[in-house]
Amino acid sequence: MKKTYKIDVDCANCANKMEAAANKTEGVKNASVNFMTLKMTVEFEDGSDPKAVMREVLKSCKRVEDDCEIFI
């Protein structure tokens, strides 16, 4: 399953950091952050709960870049 979320982040490099962090999160098959449109597209592993996974993704993103937000 694939879902797109709106995000808020200040710099292009921070967006890259968020993307790397999201990709390392369990339950995420592939994540990509588009700094241009401020959107994060997440492809979930089969059988995972997107809501729970996204909470984890937000946590890992906050860890690498404090000043970011994902509108889940």
C-alpha separations of 29 from 3, 9, 36, 40 in Å: 12, 22, 22, 13
Check residue 34 for interaction with other proteins (CB under 8 A). yes
Check residue 29 for interaction with other proteins (CB under 8 A). no
Check residue 67 for interaction with other proteins (CB under 8 A). yes
Helix (H) or strand (E) holding 7: strand 2-8
**Residue 62 corresponds to which tokens in the numbers above?**
């906050």
Check residue 32 for interaction with other proteins (CB under 8 A). yes
Check residue 63 for interaction with other proteins (CB under 8 A). yes
Site for other proteins, rule CB under 8 A: 4, 10-13, 15-16, 32-39, 41, 63-64, 66-67
